[in-house]
Amino acid sequence: MAENRIPKREEIAEEYTWDLRDMFPDDAAWTAEYEALKDMPARIAAYRGRLGESAEELLGFFRLQDELELRLTPLHTYASCASDQDTSNGFYQDMRGKAMNTYVAIASAAAFATPEIMAIDEDRLNLFYVVQPELETYRRSIYQIRRRAAHILSAEEERLLAAAGEIASAPDQIGSTFRDADIRFDPVTDGEGREHQLTNGTFVPLEESADRTLRRNAFESYYTRMGQFKNTIAATLDAEFRQRLFFSRARKYPDTLTAALDHTEVPTEVYTNLIEAVHGNLDKMYRYVALRKKLLGVDELHMYDVYTPLVAGATRKIGIEEAKATVLEALAVLGEDYTDLLREGFSHRWLDVYENEGKRGGAYSSGSSRPHPYVLLNHKDTLDSMFTLAHEMGHALHSWHSCKVQPVNTADYVIFVAEVASTCNEVLLVRHLLKKTTDPTERAYLINHFLDSFKGTVYRQTMFAEFELMMGRMAEQGETLTADVLSEKYHALNRLYFGPDMVSDEGIALEWTRIPHFFYNYYVFQYATGFSAAVALANRILSEGESAVADYKKFLSGGSSTDPISLLKIAGVDMSTPDPVNAALSLFGELLGEMEKLA
């Protein structure tokens, strides 16, 4: 039997699994709510043609929308979490499908609302606010609809687009099911001939091993296997970008990037400026690669050498309980109220901690805080896993603060700011750990981790963003995303970003086959911008104390009450300029310089 066998779900101790009963006591209760929601499309349709009649009708419609949000969110979250804990479980896959069907049916029924709200005369709408002051709660939502006037279609066309939503999600669902439930890899051997189980979840931990034979075998086995399905995966990506193109053209946007970013009020220049800034700082990435080659003592640095720690001691095991305690210490600068919430999450089973057979890979926070956030982990007792814990709890408490302070309609923050709170926690954690030690070896170990994290979050995610933009432009030009073309372009981009001291192995040309974020509609660039903003926020929190923390919590509580650029300005960061990105890249260079001296 392969070492480190992945346990079955029932073998995981209950305390390390999330408690879905906080949403529904059992599957039967979920089913009852699913059935009860079947009359919602009719309730929504009753408002058709009436939204401009009076302030009361408009207010009633928005209150119904709030009710739907409060009921649909736990319905979808329960089904998604239950499905993700074992993606091979057909019952919960079906439940997830039913939740999506419910959402689509309700969205289709409400398709009339946007054109009707758009059609209300400005003077009449202003009068509505006067005669029905409670409408002020929904002013931001109404503005969000009306600001996109050029991209709103007729009621019937909106209904058709809403109905197409289920089809639009198919590429992502197919790709996710393939990666998490269907694909299987042969065990791989280390330098002593011992076998290790290879999965999507164990791939990166195996690449972190100090055993170079194991790293190479895992790398070659993984990409050989993925290469056998490269045409299928390329077809799903092609379908993903074709549906993006369909919706962007239907809504009269010039391209898919503008369509995606307009939804969150982020200028496209933020995306392109990021790529330009990183291109202007690739010399630092090349220095990092040269340092990695030197410290590993290899004649050739290969792509399977990218993840392994450079400093002795980096493989020390950090169990989940130690990770929790350290994260609590590091985030104490955010106040007792913040750490009390962390303790509540840790002790009341907000987390699903360990990998089991069929469990979705990676990590996430559910994005909702009703009744509380749910966090999926695949904890591996590593330093990286501890940072993942801090990261995902940043997401979770961001959601908690927004849901507590904001009304229902503005409680959900947009994706541009989604990675800021999570990454701020990571920066605070590494600063805390560095502050605790003056030992050169330990300091080098921590700086190495920060440099690796920076490389993975800023340089690597920007590379992904550039590749995703390339795919979007190919689709817009009528080109098909074939496996051979994607591999060729990805390989060239990898060589550009890693530079002359890195051997860009043949297998890395297929790395695009394993990245789920390429289905997330121009999401990945926000890891890099979020990291840059987080560095600035963490610096301000540590240098200015309570006043900066107060401003930061205003940001955490902001939801979508204003545009994301303005929200970050409240916390003291101006992302409308390239300054935060360039400052973060400068910090990378400074720490790299210290690491070069320590080496």
Measured from the Cβ of residue 347, the count of other Cβ atoms closer than 10 Å reads 10
CB 412 within 8 A of CB 264: no
Active-site annotation holder among 116, 208, 392, 511: 392
In 3D space, the residue among 513, 53, 488 whose CA is nearest the CA of residue 237 turns out to be: 513
The residue type found at 406 is Q
What is the C-alpha to C-alpha distance for residues 249 and 38, in angstroms, rounded to an integer? 32
CA count, 13 A, side-chain hemisphere, 525 = 25
Whats the size of the chain, residue-wise?
A: 599
First to last CA, the chain: 40
Token reading at 362: 């990676």
Strand pairing report for 301-302 and 188-189? unpaired
Token reading at 316: 């020390």
Residue 195, classed as helix, strand or coil, is: strand
In 3D space, the residue among 497, 458, 498 whose CA is nearest the CA of residue 583 turns out to be: 458
Active site annotation includes 392: yes
Distances (CA, A) of 444 to 30, 323, 535: 50, 20, 20
Residue 69: exposed, middle, or buried by beta-carbon count in 10 A (0-12, 13-18, 19+)? middle
552-570 in b/e form (b: 16+ CB < 10 A) is: bbebbbbbbbebbbebbbe
CB 366 within 8 A of CB 19: no
Please list the residues that pair with 503 across neighbouring strands. Answer: 302
Residue 382: exposed, middle, or buried by beta-carbon count in 10 A (0-12, 13-18, 19+)? buried
What is the C-alpha to C-alpha distance for residues 472 and 243, in angstroms, rounded to an integer? 11
What is the C-alpha to C-alpha distance for residues 59 and 56, in angstroms, rounded to an integer? 5
In degrees, to the nearest 5, what angle opens at C-alpha 2 toward C-alphas 219 and 360? 65
> Hey, which residues are catalytic here?
392
